[in-house]
């Protein structure tokens, strides 16, 4: 089974992808991770990507498609991929379909974690981590317990970009870019809406029910 998962920044897409990978033995294809790995490996394509990024430009859809094809064409990952963060636009969605057809595969399911802007604002602006152990907390949903000796008020730090203004900007950018892609999968009757407002466990259960029904 090949799955595409969507959700605005802060919707818990990464957490749910990890859950799906673990439960259903899928390979998580994250284009961001792939780009970083190529740069780290200093491969020929990695050096080109590094130049593009350092110049402040976006990596082209064609370059990303080449990296994606390397995974799709690998028999080891055949029909067991979850696409996380890809496709980001309609052009990529159509290119992905062409690649899958080339290797006699298809998208079986597209999941969309529906999450309101107000929830996203709290999840992002309330996010802190412990500078000592790295554990992540949220002052609205998951504050550190008073009994914890490591994660105290003095050790909690917040990223500069974890603020309300940036949360709103990310959300609106995501909606604008992704709606045509969601509509693309909706018309193919592959899109399933998931309640991203629920707890992690409840969202896990909702996703499991959808996948289990499709797998039959």
The set of catalytic residues is: 13, 88, 127, 159, 170
Contact 93, 87 (CB under 8 A): yes
Q: 65 in helix, strand or coil? A: helix
CA neighbor of 63 nearest in space, from 33, 37, 31: 31
Tell me what percent of the chain is helix, strand and coil, each rounded to the nearest 5. 50, 15, 35
Backbone angles phi, psi at 82, to 5 degrees: -110, 120
Spatial separation of the C-alpha atoms in residues 37 and 29, rounded to whole Å: 12
Helix (H, G, I), strand (E, B) or coil at 138: strand
**What letter does residue 75 receive in the DSSP assignment?**
G
Report the length, in residues, of the chain: 216
């Amino acid at each position: 089974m090949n799955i595409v998962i969507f959700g605005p920044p802060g919707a818990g897409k990464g957490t749910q992808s990890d859950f799906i990978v673990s439960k259903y033995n899928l390979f998580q294809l994250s284009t961001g991770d792939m780009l970083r790995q190529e740069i780290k490996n200093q491969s020929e394509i990695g050096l080109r990507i590094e130049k593009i990024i350092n110049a402040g430009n976006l990596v082209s859809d064609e370059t990303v498609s080449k990296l994606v094809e390397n995974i799709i064409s690998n028999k080891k990952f055949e029909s067991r991929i979850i696409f996380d963060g890809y496709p980001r636009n309609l052009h990529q969605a159509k290119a992905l379909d062409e690649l899958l057809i080339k290797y006699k595969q298809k998208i079986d399911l597209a999941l969309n974690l529906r999450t309101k802007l107000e929830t996203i604002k709290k999840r992002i602006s309330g996010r802190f981590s412990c500078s000592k152990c790295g554990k992540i907390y949220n002052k609205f949903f998951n504050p550190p317990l008073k009994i914890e000796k490591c994660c105290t008020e003095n050790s909690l730090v917040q990223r500069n970009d974890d603020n309300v203004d940036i949360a709103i900007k990310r959300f609106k950018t995501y909606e604008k870019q992704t709606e045509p892609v969601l509509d693309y999968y909706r018309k193919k009757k592959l899109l399933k809406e998931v309640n991203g407002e629920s707890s992690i466990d409840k969202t896990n259960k909702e996703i499991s029910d959808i996948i289990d029904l499709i797998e039959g």
